[in-house]
Every structure is written in C-alpha cells, then in structure tokens.
Structure 1
Amino acid sequence: MESIKHFIAANGHQVQLWVFILLFIFIWNVENLAGVLFNYKKWKHAFSNAPFIVTSIPGQLLLGLAFIKTIEWTTQHQFGILYLLPKNTNPVWVFIASFILLDLGEYGYHVVMHKVKRLWMFHAVHHSDNVVDVSTTLREHPGENIVRMSFTLLWVFITGTAFWMLMLRQIIQAITTLFAHMNYRFSDSADKLISLLFITPNLHQVHHHYKQPYTDCNYGDVLSIWDRMFGTLKRLPAEQLVFGVDTYMDKNETRNFYSLVKLPFGKYRKIKADEENTTSTILK
C-alpha cells in the first residue's frame, strides 16, 4: 500500500493526464459507433470547446501550489476531519472516507453554482452547450475553474485529505466525468442498477436539459447518493431531452468562444420552469 501511495503522490498528475487523454479517445470512438446523437458536426463541436483547455491552465498553476501548501500544513498539524479517525485505521478505509467527503463537497459546490446568480453565469457556459458529448467536459469557463478549485481546496483543508488521496480521487473523477458526459445511454434496466450508486450518462443528460426543474437536478459528481439523500434526483425520457439553457439558445452565442468567455459578465437571465413535466418525473 505504501508503494501505491508514494507512486500516486509522485505521479498523480501525469497518470490523471494520460487517463484523461486515452479515455477521451476511447469514448470518442464509442460515441461514433453507439452514440444517440448523430445530427451534429462532431469535430466542429469539439473545436468550439477545445480552447477552454488553454484558459484553464493559469488557474491550475495558480492554485496547484496552494493545494501543496495547504496539505503540507494539515499534515504537519494533523488538522481535519480524517485525523479524528483512529491512527491505526487501514489507509484504504481512510481513502474511502476521504473520497465520500470530497464527493459530498463537490455536490455542495455544484448546488452553489446553480443557486448563486453570478456563479451560475459562469457555470452556464458549461450548460449552454446544445450537444452533450465527451468534449463537453472541456467546456469550463476559466473563472469557474478557479472557483471550483477553490471550493475543493477549502474542502481538502476541512477534511485533512492527504495528497495521494486527492490525486487518486481526481483520477477516478476524471474517468467518471468523461463517462457522465458521453453521447451514449444505458438501457433503462442497466441504468437503474448502476445509478443506485453512480451518476450515469442517463442521469447527467437530464441535468443538461434546457429547462427547470431538470437543470437543477442530478448534481452528483461521482456518486448519486447525495441526490437521493437531498431529493434532487430526477429522470426524463430521452426523447424529451433538449440540451442547453433556455436563456442561451442562440447558437451564434453558445458556439463562439469569445462570446462564452464574456457571458458571465453580462446581464443575468432567469431560467424558466418546464411546468408540463415537473411533477411526474421527480423521484421520491
């Protein structure tokens, strides 16, 4: 176990990068063979999302050092929720506890991004994509990238998560995020089984539906248990799904990188509720 911890701590970023690249290519080809959407120009769509890779770099570099310093401090001072566990606790169980706590933090962050108007304007850049496929994972405003990492940094500080745990969590998160956004759907029976624990493409596609209350559902990052616990899990038949945000449906606006970068600094636009399907699909 110690060798795994040291390897992840030393090589976590490289492993995460290669996992993301190889899985991205794999899912891209799965979408070509078994995707549910084919009536769009896939390469053009990907290239409209790709520039966000570059804009995320400054935030990653800026906060990367902050993560290292924060974890060094929590380790030195034995600070955080995880340090309340008995010292002889198996590292595997400590990691599982850390994973669950960080996943809860991601759920909370996601809810905040939807509920605070100005933060929603940043997050709306991701939601405004009118096609959801693997390249949608790249579509994150640089401002949101900094906010998201800052939330994670705060949660790492509160929990006392070790560096190797954070790296391993991010590797798993990269895998599940790519799968959640893929242009693919499980069968209803398979989805109901898998989604008992995990966020699936079926669930996350509902989150990307263009109207309320579906935009504000299925917030889970890796685990679906938080949506079940807090009553935010919803389903919608595939044939009723329309991707995007009803207040940003102009394709000239949602496919132009420069328009998307400026979007959070414009006037707030309120999302309208889809009253026709509100009550029937809320999971109780």
Structure 2
Amino acid sequence: MKNLINYFNSAPDFHRVLLLSFSFFLFWNIEYFYEHAKNKVSHLWLNAKFMLTAAPVQFVLGYLMNFVLKWTQNHEFGLFHQIQKVNALTLFILTFLYLDFCEYAYHLLMHKVKKLWKFHLVHHADKQLDVSTTLREHPGETTIRLLFTTLWVFLGGVSLWALIFRQFIQIFSNVLAHTEVRLPEKVDSWLSYLFVTPNFHHVHHHYLQPYTDTNYGDVLSIWDRIFGTFAQLPKEAVVFGVDTHFDECNLNTFSKLLTIPLISDKSSVKINMKG
C-alpha cells in the first residue's frame, strides 16, 4: 500500500491522460466491432472538441485544487483529519465512499437546479450515446464540477493520493458507463448492484422522465438504491436525448452546442416521438 501511496502522490497528469486514452480506445473499438454504428468518426470529432474548452478550465482550477489540498494538509482540516488510527486501505475506502456520494449529490443537483441543468443538458442532448459522450461537457459544467469537487476535498480534508487513486478508477468507470455496448443481463443484474454499468447508465440518458432523473451514480450504484433514484429499462426501450429539447438534440455543430445554456426555455419544444 505504501508503494501505491507514493505513486499516486507523485503521479504526473499525463498518466491519467494515458488511462483515459487507453480506456477510450478499448471501448470505442469494442463499440465499433459489436454495434457498427454509423457516423462514429464524425460523432467522435464533434464531442472531442469539448476537450479544447475543458483543458484551460482544468488548468486554472487545478491550481485552486492544489492550494486546497496543501492547505487542508498543513492545517489538518477536514473530516478525514479527525479520524485517528486508521490504516491506509480503510482510509481510502472511506474517502472513496465519501467522494462517490458527493458525486451522486452533485449530479442530482445538476438535474434539479434549473440554472445548473442548462449546462448539464449539453451532455444529455447527445442522441448517439457512446464513449465519446464522456467528453461532451460544456465548459460551464466543467467549471461547476471542479468547484464542487474542490469543495468536497476541502470539507473532507482529502489526501492527494486518495483523490488521484479514485480519479484513476473514476476515469475507467465513466468511459465504460457511456459505451453503447450493454452487458449481458445476467451479468449486469449482479454487477450493477454495486457498480455503475452501461445498462444502468443508459437508463439515465433515456429521453423521457422520470428516467432522466434516475441512476445518478458515478462509480457506485448503491446511492441510487439507498435514496430511491434507481430505475431499469430494457435495451429496446431506451432512446437517448431529452424530450423537452429535441431541437437542441439535433444540433450538430460545436458552436451551436455551446449556446444551449443560453437558449430560452420557451424555445424548447417537447416532441412526441410516437407522432
């Protein structure tokens, strides 16, 4: 465990980029082999452009995160600094559960608070869900998400190594959750009791309520089961997008997608897909 702690305390950022790239390459090719979806390259190109807006936000707010990590460590501030005589493995498990619950709460807020939802809507407006949807995050949401993460780290007094360790797991999990290839139902019925799976997360991307407001879990699915936000749908019933913003779901240029949070609610027309 000591070697792991030393590694994650000093792991360079490009290691996370490598993990993201490997996960992306792996699942994108699995999708291509099994699903044979059309326009995958153009869809990837569109969603990948969001990396251009995410990078400067992550760079700037990364300095704030580093300051908070050092400050809480130097002042022994936060929840986990109050826990005494806990071994490193137990500390990591507790930190993981804490941060995963915070991610669940953050995700719920992005759906329930109208002004926040306008930014998160860009992610949900993807009607062709695949691994590239993982990259599809409005820069406004990137800012909001990282500020919330910094707040959780501050309140918890989270250690750098535990945060980075969890981010490695989170990267792989989030890419897997957005792949369009579903797991066999028997496998998923067991695995999704604890972890977020593609089958589980596809329901969250279904275009109709109440399913859009279910399955908020980040890495773990347990919070949805505990708080009553868990739902299931068979593959053939899932349609990706957002019913109240199908005009916006049809936007196929990066610049137009960036304007979604600026579009008046009155301009959004609910469409009956059966009609």
Say which of 233, 237, 261 aligns to 1:236. Answer: 233
Say which of 107, 111, 115 aligns to 1:110. Answer: 107
Shift of residue 244 of structure 1?
Answer: 0.6
Shift of residue 12 of structure 1?
Answer: 4.7
CA distance in 1, matches of 2:133, 2:97: 25
What TM-score does the superposition give when structure 1 sets the normalisation length?
Answer: 0.91
Matched AA of 1:212: Q
**Structure 1: which 5+ residue stretches go unaligned?**
275-284
1:5-154 aligned at under 5 Å gives the runs: 5-35=5-35, 38-86=36-84, 88-154=85-151
The corresponding residue for 2:179 is: 182
**266 and 51 in structure 1: CA distance in 2 versus 1, 3 angstrom threshold:** same
CA distance in 2, matches of 1:195, 1:30: 20
8 Å contact from structure 1 (residues 211, 246) kept in 2: yes
The corresponding residue for 2:204 is: 207
CA distance in 2, matches of 1:94, 1:14: 26
CA distance in 1, matches of 2:269, 2:161: 40
Q: Does 1:166 align with 2:163?
A: yes
Deviation digits for residues 26-65 of structure 1 (CA, Å, limit 9, x no counterpart): 1111111223xx4431101111111100100111011101
Matched AA of 1:9: N
What TM-score does the superposition give when structure 2 sets the normalisation length?
Answer: 0.94
Q: When the two structures are aligned, how many residues end up with a matched partner? A: 271
8 Å contact from structure 2 (residues 177, 201) kept in 1: yes
The corresponding residue for 1:280 is: none
Alignment RMSD, CA only?
A: 1.8
CA distance in 1, matches of 2:141, 2:204: 18
8 Å contact from structure 2 (residues 207, 240) kept in 1: yes
